[in-house]
Amino acid sequence: MLRFCMFSGIPLSILAVISLWIGQYAGSPILGMVFVISAALAVTIGLVYNVRFVILSIREVKRQQSTKS
């Protein structure tokens, strides 16, 4: 799950930035929609990645604390 988020989130964010720049210079409303969709997906994937990472980190800390006691 984390690998999927990592490998798909970065290209989506790059696509969002490129479509925003090109759409602004070209005045293309279609590239504006590409930006909105790709930016929303990149933010969602980033949020999922961060939440999953925190959950795994907390789980690991609890596991380490239980082995010390």
Mean of all residue pLDDT scores within the chain: 89
Q: Which letter does DSSP use for residue 39 in this model?
A: H
Instruction: Tell me the whole-structure pTM to 2 decimals.
Output: 0.76
3-state secondary structure of 44: helix
Check if the beta carbon of residue 10 is closer than 8 Å to that of residue 45. Answer: no
Q: Residues 4-38, buried b or exposed e (16+ Cβ, 10 A)? A: ebeeebeebbebbeebbeebeeeeeeebeebbeeb
pLDDT of residue 69: 63
What is the Cα–Cα distance from 37 to 28, expressed in whole angstroms? Answer: 15
pLDDT of residue 28: 86
Domain range for 8 is: 2-68
User: What is the count of structural domains for the chain?
Assistant: 1
